Amino acid sequence: MNFLIDECLHTSLVEVAVERGHEATHVTYRGLSGAQDWNLMAPIREGEFTFVTNNAKDFRRLYAQEDIHAGLVILIPNVPPIEQRELFDAALDDLMVAPGLINEALEVGIVEGDIQITRYDLPGV
């Protein structure tokens, strides 16, 4: 898969993806730091990126307007980089079992100390 990591998440997530055999880059590396969320959608579409963010509210809304997309990964809650890497690693494990996220979102969070993963259609069917 080809991931674009949002600036609200640590740049080390790029390395996590690359070590697992994926392509990845960070918003900062592409000169998009500070871009409004809606302005990221064109580069996401053009690069056919699966976008990884912590900004669930805004990107759920933006992705709900897309006819087709390469997927959205949401890491919640806002946690330090070491925990971000653990959550993203869990997302990558899930994607090994059920590859691809075409028109889907994958939310990875912590519930009562355990990692919980939820996958759903976005936009809803």
Q: What is the pLDDT of residues 14-61, one digit of tens each?
A: 999 999 999 999 999 999 999 999 999 999 999 999 999 999 999 999
Percent of the chain with pLDDT over 70: 99
In the numeric block, the tokens 């690693």 are attached to: 89
H helices present in 20-55, as ranges: 37-47
pLDDT digits (tens, 9 = 90+) for 68-119: 999 999 999 889 999 999 999 999 999 999 888 999 999 999 999 899 999 9
Q: How far apart are CA 45 and CA 40, in angstroms?
A: 9
Q: Are 92 and 101 in contact (CB under 8 A)?
A: no
Looking at CATH, the fold of the domain delimited by 2-121 is given as Rossmann fold (3.40.50)
Name the band, by pLDDT with cuts 50, 70 and 90, for residue 124: confident
Q: Is the pTM of this model over 0.85?
A: yes
Pairing of β 2-5 and β 23-26: parallel
Structure tokens at 6: 């949002």
Looking only at the bridges linking them, the beta strands covering 50-53 and 72-75 are: parallel
